Amino acid sequence: EEKNAGQTEYLQAIHEFLPTIAPYLEKNPAIVESNVLEILLEPERIVQFRVPWQDDKGDWKVNRGFRIQYNSALGPYKGGLRLHPTVTESVLKFLAFEQIFKNSLTGLPIGGGKGGSDFDPKGKSDPEIMRFCQSFMTELQKYIGPDVDVPAGDIGVGGREIGYLFGQYKRLNGHHSGVLTGKPLSYWGSLARTEATGYGLVYYVKHLLNDQNDSFEGKKVVVSGSGNVAIYAIQKAQELGATAITCSDSSGYVYDPDGIDLTLLKEVKEVKRERLSAYAAERPNATYFEGKSVWSYSDAYDIALPCATQNEISAEYAEVLVKSGAKIVAEGANMPSTLDAVAIFEKNGVVYCPGKAANAGGVAVSALEMAQNSQRLPWTFEKVDSELDAIMKRIYEACRDTAKDYATEGDLLSGANIAGFAKVAEAMISQGLV
Ligand code: NDP
């Protein structure tokens, strides 16, 4: 607590995590004696650097860049880069911490990391984005590499930004395909990486529903966000027979009773880079709620997929969600539910699928992109997509079965945390706690 004073998001992630692994620690005293937990709670390395860049008027600006290399027990650090004005060391430490266990759950050889900057990409021109990315990578390239640390995208970092970052890395180091993932398809990108987090989220819920002899068919789904994760979660849920009736951005949310029109949404967000009000203006039955959170939506629905950002579902919104009859909350975003919200879900029998398991599809396909880059062979969309579905099934089953093994049946959060932690702890001990 004292060492991390003021780092609220990071402490929140730790507070969520620690009580859930208690049943595992009780059964494994050797783990407690080894002190691996205390060591694990200290990031291996944090890099912070200055990012100066020039705007279109020729004025110089400066932002703060970070890379948190949290844990390399299972492989090279792996985790996205976030560009958003809310980025702080605390936010990135919480994300890197979650990433360790998420990556462990994928079963693929990747450690945990995260990075980014408090740079705000909104309203910046394309050349400004390029100059920022080039300056950011000029410093970051000293600390990363295909076998060391392999960043990817996150909020504010999509194909365009990865392209500029990759170009700068290549200029400074010579060509290396495997230094970033989420690359465009024309050079070393993986098919299905763009779709992976959203699709993976829906696959996770599909396997949960299968267990209940149920499916997405006919379900009403409330989705937040309208970025990379939200768009492909909506697409896959609709493909499986559900109706996604909402999406949102930081200015408000759209309710579309006919189901979100994905072509229009992509046009607005990915091509025109406009606000969601532009979506509602084109759809006769859709309503735009300016300045409102999507979690204030209170009519009946079945499944909630928060896909925007951390702490978007407060206790108050969790109560609204429970009253609307939703039975499943599956997190596409990282830590979108506050601790109080999770307690309300648990109390009311809402099945809670934590982000570190449910949104692991993105990083899993990033690891498959690394495999393709090493092989120098691209895989087909179908191959990557079916691997993704199989990985999400394994992750769901690991959460379910681990929860059962530790007498917390049905508690997918404990299942995810214990299954993710056990592998990392064992690897650290076997490597001499390094
Ligand atoms: P994008 O930048 O593509 O989209 C983010 C979306 O969330 C946008 O619609 C954005 O609205 C909205 N949003 C962001 N911040 C806020 C805020 N403070 N309040 C309300 N809405 C907000 O990011 P991604 O879709 O990639 O990421 C979304 C979440 O998923 C994040 O938590 C990320 O860490 C997580 N995630 C992403 C993965 C990936 O592969 N991309 C993998 C695993 C997790 P606006 O346009 O107004 O900013």
Pairing verdict, β 246-249 and 252-255? antiparallel
The 10 Å Cβ neighbour count of residue 374 is 12
What are the E-state strand segments in 55-148? 60-71, 77-83, 111-117
Test site for ligand 1: of 87, 105, 150, 154, most ligand atoms within 8 A of the Cβ: 154
Q: Decide: 79 in ligand 1 pocket, CB within 6 A.
A: no
Pairing verdict, β 149-152 and 220-223? unpaired
Beta partners for residue 156, in sequence order: none
Under 8 Å between Cβ of 368 and 337:
no
Residue 323, domain member (yes or no): yes
Q: 154 and 15, same structural domain?
A: yes
Beta partners for residue 168, in sequence order: none
Residue 289, domain member (yes or no): yes
Q: Decide: 359 in ligand 1 pocket, CB within 6 A.
A: yes
In angstroms, what is the span from residue 166 Cα to ligand 1's centroid?
A: 22
Handedness of CA 119, 253, 160, 372 (dihedral sign): positive
Active site members? 114
Q: 336 and 200, same structural domain?
A: yes
Q: 150 and 12, same structural domain?
A: yes
Residue 362, domain member (yes or no): no
Q: Decide: 116 in ligand 1 pocket, CB within 6 A.
A: no
pLDDT in tens, the chain (434 residues): 788 989 999 999 999 999 999 999 999 999 999 999 999 999 999 999 999 999 999 999 999 999 999 999 999 999 999 999 999 999 999 999 999 999 999 999 999 999 999 999 999 999 999 999 999 999 999 999 999 999 999 999 999 999 999 999 999 999 888 999 999 999 999 999 999 999 999 999 999 999 999 999 999 999 999 999 999 999 999 999 999 999 999 999 999 999 999 999 999 998 888 899 999 999 999 999 999 999 999 999 999 999 999 999 999 999 999 999 999 999 999 999 999 999 999 999 999 999 999 999 999 999 999 999 999 999 999 999 999 999 999 999 999 999 999 978 889 999 999 999 999 999 999 999 87
Beta partners for residue 290, in sequence order: 252
Q: 201 and 162, same structural domain?
A: no
Q: 168 and 96, same structural domain?
A: yes
Domain boundary among 142, 177, 212: 177
Test site for ligand 1: of 199, 228, 295, 338, most ligand atoms within 8 A of the Cβ: 228
Is residue 78 a known part of a binding site? yes
Pairing verdict, β 220-223 and 243-244? parallel
Q: 256 and 123, same structural domain?
A: no
Ramachandran class of 432: left when φ > 0, alpha when ψ lies in -120 to 50, beta otherwise: left
Domain boundary among 353, 372, 391: 353
Q: Containing H/E element for 267?
A: none
**370 alpha-carbon distance from chain centroid:** 18
What global pTM score does this model have?
0.95
Q: 145 and 14, same structural domain?
A: yes
**118 alpha-carbon distance from chain centroid:** 18
Atom of ligand 1 nearest to the CA of 95: 34
Mapped onto helix, strand or coil, the DSSP state of residue 276 is coil
Residue 429, domain member (yes or no): no
In angstroms, what is the span from residue 273 Cα to ligand 1's centroid?
A: 14
User: Both tokens of residue 18?
Assistant: 């620690």
DSSP secondary structure of 200-215: HHHHHHHHHHHHTT--
In angstroms, what is the span from residue 42 Cα to ligand 1's centroid?
A: 27
Distance CA 216, CA 225 (A): 20
Q: Decide: 151 in ligand 1 pocket, CB within 6 A.
A: no
Q: Quote the radius of gyration of the chain (alpha carbons, Å).
A: 21
Residue 371, domain member (yes or no): no
Atom of ligand 1 nearest to the CA of 249: 11
In angstroms, what is the span from residue 130 Cα to ligand 1's centroid?
A: 20
Q: Decide: 332 in ligand 1 pocket, CB within 6 A.
A: yes
Query: Domain of 280?
Result: 195-353
Residue 402, domain member (yes or no): no
* Whether ipTM exceeds 0.90: yes
Residue 421, domain member (yes or no): no
Which of 111, 236, 204, 109 has its CA nearest to residue 399? 204
Mapped onto helix, strand or coil, the DSSP state of residue 121 is coil
Task: Work out how many domains the chain is built from and give that number.
Answer: 2
Q: Is 255 exposed, middle or buried (0-12, 13-18, 19+ CB in 10 A)?
A: buried
Q: 28 and 137, same structural domain?
A: yes
The 10 Å Cβ neighbour count of residue 118 is 17
Whole-number pLDDT of residue 229:
96
Residue 254, domain member (yes or no): yes
In angstroms, what is the span from residue 71 Cα to ligand 1's centroid?
A: 24
Q: Decide: 194 in ligand 1 pocket, CB within 6 A.
A: no
Atom of ligand 1 nearest to the CA of 362: 40
Edge-to-edge order in the sheet of strand 77-83:
45-54, 60-71, 111-117, 77-83, 149-152
Q: 200 and 165, same structural domain?
A: no
Distance CA 369, CA 293 (A): 35
Distance CA 434, CA 427 (A): 9
Test site for ligand 1: of 129, 193, 250, most ligand atoms within 8 A of the Cβ: 250
Q: What is the CATH number of the domain that holds 65?
A: 3.40.50.10860
Q: 84 and 214, same structural domain?
A: no
| Maximum separation of any 2 CA atoms in the chain, in Å | 63
Q: What is the CATH number of the domain that holds 346?
A: 3.40.50.720
* List of long-range contacts for 346-349, beta carbons under 8 Å, 24+ apart: 346/411, 348/322
In angstroms, what is the span from residue 230 Cα to ligand 1's centroid?
A: 8
Q: 222 and 310, same structural domain?
A: yes
Torsion (CA) 355, 361, 366, 372 in degrees, nearest 10: 160
Q: Decide: 197 in ligand 1 pocket, CB within 6 A.
A: yes
Q: For 142, list phi and psi in degrees, rounded to 5.
A: -70, -20
Is residue 366 a known part of a binding site? yes
Q: Decide: 330 in ligand 1 pocket, CB within 6 A.
A: no
Q: 124 and 210, same structural domain?
A: no
Domain boundary among 353, 388, 415: 353
Q: Decide: 178 in ligand 1 pocket, CB within 6 A.
A: no
DSSP label of 269: I
Residue owning the nearest CA to atom 2 of ligand 1: 155
